[in-house]
Amino acid sequence: MPRIDINAQVLAQTSPTKDIFLLSVSAPEIARPAQPGQFCMLDAVEEDNLHDPLLRRPLSIHNVTADGVVEFLYRKTGRGTGLLSRLKPGRKLKILGPLGNGFRWDNSKSCILVGGGMGIAPLLFLAAALHKAGNPPAIILGAATESDLVRIDLFRTRAMEQGFFTATEDGSLGHHGLVTEVLLSLFDHQAHQAGEADTVVLTCGPFPMMRAVAAICREREIPCQVSLEAHMACGSGLCLGCAVESAHNADYIHVCREGPVVDAIKVKW
């Protein structure tokens, strides 16, 4: 698996909302091998003498373009993402990637993507890959409120016909409630059409949301993959700091090495 550590140039940074940012960098070396669901470690500190590995932060690859642009969609939450959010076009930043294992799918099966909060970030690249392969997915995106659901027009164009849904907790856009309620009604609809057996669910979002999605899938024996989050220092399997409890034998999943995308049945929920 190629892993590249480069100084990449910022091409653009926009802010669809007060605390959500879209960062575009020129990184053809990373764009070429990147797979949907993989991530990079980003370090906003440009100068070598200020290099601070503790400030590298993991972000999913949101999208890549044919001309080598890599996009990241992130919420400013603390120091690392705060520094990233101040980067202007022309500045350089250190990027290590693409890292980890992404989503796996088979184009003979229909895919349902379920994203919650900033968990929508890796799903655009995934939706684009599925769409390009002639297998456009059903997409369900949820958030607390409408303004958190960014770039939904792009998602909509990559979804199957009549297969794009939103849910907001305050009812400001789409279904008033949770993504899991939309997923259940989609399954009910599919069951009528006997399509459920050939379905796979691919999800990223807050842990409780993914736990609920995984439980629904387990009940129906539908394969489900989840993209896990953990605090990360090295991103390379060295520090063992990104452990999440595994469902098997009191073992651990190291998210940067075995994930971030794993089969839902492997996780201790």
Ligand X SMILES: Cc1cc2nc3c(=O)[nH]c(=O)nc-3n(C[C@H](O)[C@H](O)[C@H](O)COP(=O)(O)OP(=O)(O)OC[C@H]3O[C@@H](n4cnc5c(N)ncnc54)[C@H](O)[C@@H]3O)c2cc1C
121 binds, among ligand FES, ligand X, none (CB under 5 to 8 A by kind): ligand X
Burial category of 261 from C-beta neighbours within 10 Å (exposed 0-12, middle 13-18, buried 19 and up): buried
Site size toward ligand X (CB under 6 A) is 21
C-beta of 36: minimal distance to ligand X in Å? Answer: 12
Q: Single out the segment in contact with ligand X by CB under 6 A; choices: 4-12, 56-64, 194-202, 212-220.
A: 56-64
C-beta of 35: minimal distance to ligand FES in Å? Answer: 18
C-beta of 74: minimal distance to ligand X in Å? Answer: 3
Three-state secondary structure call for residue 49: helix
Binds ligand FES (CB under 6 A): choice among 45, 160, 184, 234: 234
Residue 118 found at the interface with ligand X (CB under 6 A): yes
The residue (of 154 and 240) whose beta carbon lies closer to ligand FES is 240
* Rounded CA separation 126/39 (Å): 13
Q: Is the dihedral of CA 11, 114, 262, 195 positive or negative?
A: negative
The residue (of 29 and 229) whose beta carbon lies closer to ligand X is 229
Residue 155 found at the interface with ligand X (CB under 6 A): no
- The closest of 41, 48, 8 to 25, measured between CA atoms, is 8
Give kind and range of the element (H or E) at residue 191.
helix 179-192
Q: Single out the segment in contact with ligand FES by CB under 6 A; choices: 6-14, 192-200, 209-217, 226-234.
A: 226-234
Query: Are residues 56 and 42 in contact, defined by beta-carbon separation less than 8 angstroms?
Result: yes
End-to-end CA distance of the chain: 29
Q: Is the dihedral of CA 253, 258, 267, 250 positive or negative?
A: negative
199 binds, among ligand FES, ligand X, none (CB under 5 to 8 A by kind): none
Residue 239 found at the interface with ligand FES (CB under 6 A): yes
Pairing of strands 164-168, 20-26: unpaired
Which residues sit at the interface with ligand X, rule CB under 6 A?
A: 39, 57-60, 73-75, 77-82, 118, 121, 229-232, 260
